[in-house]
């Protein structure tokens, strides 16, 4: 056992990832950590040693097949199992110690994926792929950057945003992973799931805002300590609960999914939420929150030919808005549903969303994609599937849906 003192921003999942453990391992050594919603700086945890994966050699195995099976290098296997590369101990029934697989991706989950991860992965991606550019299009209520990534040089423009709702933060790494895979395939001149990223790059410019609500995401993942500038208000708006896992709004209790000037008054009257709350409060006016205003300003500056707002959950694609959508929207939605396995839904009785405003303002195809299935926040285990489904949907658009 080793002793660890929690720091600001630590969570059970982040500590586990940093030490090669699972969250269950951390909780097993610190049962109290499973019964309180968040860790607090200064709390002492006892961490077990990282468990080693083991493998019993099967008939027909050799060092190359074992290394390939587990995604590790032969010299790494040799280091933990001296003699394995010569075949001397690579015999059926011999139990080998398997090293941790090396990460090939820059974007992956190191516990929860928060604002700091977006910033760090943006630096990695733009350094590795110079044709991916970035800018800050605004700041949150608490001054966190709202980061934009751009890839492509085409005349058509696709706007995509994620994590507009705080407890839907898994949409952010899903979008970041797609950008990485697009960039990697383009750089190597290879195909991506039968698509040609070189064609995407020639025909489209992708404008991606992975985390539109960074303050809210941080609140969901880390909670609020008494020194938080909104602590008293947050505890009041959250009915005294210390857990914010259900929180969708920004840090001022405004639901950014109800902030856009598309029949905003009707949505406000329908919601009947009079003031700041974990969800469904529309604010005192459309675009009164800096996060929503930044997205709208970007779309006004670079009018898009299509837009996608990534949410969770439901495995559904919403494509219409009060008849303002262009004729191709329904056909596009059917194609996106076919590639993702999701259901295209004609939605009524909902206003003031980003997709609603985009369709009404520009009369171009706009989609709300509800990634995954379950209860928000979705489990980290769903990330790889969500990332792939995000890519399949965006890839279909970039391949010039007609």
Question: From the candidates 222, 289, 316, 370, which is the catalytic residue?
Answer: 370
C-alpha 125/C-alpha 281 separation (Å) is 36
DSSP secondary structure string, 281-349?
Answer: ---SSTT-SHHHHHHHHHHHHS--SEEEEEEESSSEEE---TT-S-THHHHHHHHHHHHHT-EEE---S
The number of helix segments (H) and strand segments (E) in the chain equals 14, 12
Q: What are phi and psi of 243, to 5 degrees?
A: -85, 135
What is the bridge-based pairing of β-strands 204-209 and 306-312? unpaired
What is the bridge-based pairing of β-strands 306-312 and 156-161? parallel
C-alpha 168/C-alpha 112 separation (Å) is 11
| Contact present, 361 and 322 (Cβ < 8 Å) | no
Residue 370 falls in the annotated catalytic set: yes
C-alpha 19/C-alpha 273 separation (Å) is 43
Is residue 75 packed enough to be buried (19+ CB in 10 Å), middle (13-18) or exposed (0-12)?
exposed
C-alpha 196/C-alpha 146 separation (Å) is 29
DSSP secondary structure string, 53-66?
Answer: EEEE--TT--HHHH
DSSP secondary structure string, 63-89?
Answer: HHHHHHHHT--HHHHHHHSTTTTTTSS
| Contact present, 304 and 280 (Cβ < 8 Å) | no
Residue 372: CB atoms within 10 A of its CB come to: 22
CA-wise closest residue to 147 among 155, 138, 159, 157: 138
Active site residue ranges:
370
């Amino acid at each position: 056992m080793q002793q660890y003192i929690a720091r600001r921003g630590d969570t059970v999942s982040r500590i586990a990832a940093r030490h090669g453990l699972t969250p269950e391992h951390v909780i097993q050594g610190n049962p109290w950590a499973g019964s309180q919603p968040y860790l607090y700086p200064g709390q002492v945890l006892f961490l077990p040693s990282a468990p080693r994966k083991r493998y019993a050699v099967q008939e027909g195995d050799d060092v190359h097949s074992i290394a390939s099976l587990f995604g590790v290098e032969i010299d790494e296997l040799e280091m933990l199992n001296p003699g394995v590369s010569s075949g001397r101990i690579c015999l059926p029934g011999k139990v080998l110690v398997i090293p941790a697989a090396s990460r090939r991706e820059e974007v992956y989950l190191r516990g929860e994926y928060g604002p700091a991860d977006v910033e760090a992965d943006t630096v990695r991606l733009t350094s590795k792929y110079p044709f991916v550019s970035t800018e800050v299009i605004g700041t949150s209520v608490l001054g966190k950057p709202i980061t934009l990534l751009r890839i492509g040089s085409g005349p058509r423009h696709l706007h995509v945003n994620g994590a507009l709702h705080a407890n839907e933060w898994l949409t952010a790494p899903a979008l970041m992973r797609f950008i990485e895979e697009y960039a990697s395939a383009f750089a190597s001149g290879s195909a991506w799931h039968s698509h040609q990223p070189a064609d995407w790059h020639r025909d489209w410019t992708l404008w991606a805002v992975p985390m539109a609500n960074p303050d809210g995401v941080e609140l969901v993942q880390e909670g609020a300590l008494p020194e938080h500038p909104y602590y008293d208000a947050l505890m009041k708006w959250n009915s005294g609960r210390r857990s914010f896992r259900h929180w969708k709004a920004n840090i001022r209790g405004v639901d950014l999914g109800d902030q856009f000037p598309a029949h905003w008054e009707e949505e406000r009257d329908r919601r009947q939420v009079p003031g700041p709350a974990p969800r469904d409060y529309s604010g005192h006016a459309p675009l009164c929150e800096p996060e929503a205003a930044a997205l709208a300003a970007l779309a006004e500056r670079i009018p898009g030919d299509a837009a996608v707002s990534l949410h969770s959950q439901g495995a559904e694609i919403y494509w219409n808005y009060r008849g303002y959508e262009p004729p191709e929207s329904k056909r596009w939605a059917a194609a996106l549903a076919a590639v993702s396995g999701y259901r295209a839904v004609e939605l009524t009785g909902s206003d003031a969303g980003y997709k609603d405003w985009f369709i009404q303002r520009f009369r171009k195809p706009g989609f709300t994609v509800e990634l995954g299935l379950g209860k928000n926040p979705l489990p980290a285990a769903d990330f790889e599937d969500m990332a792939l489904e995000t890519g399949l949907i965006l890839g279909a658009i970039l391949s010039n849906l007609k």
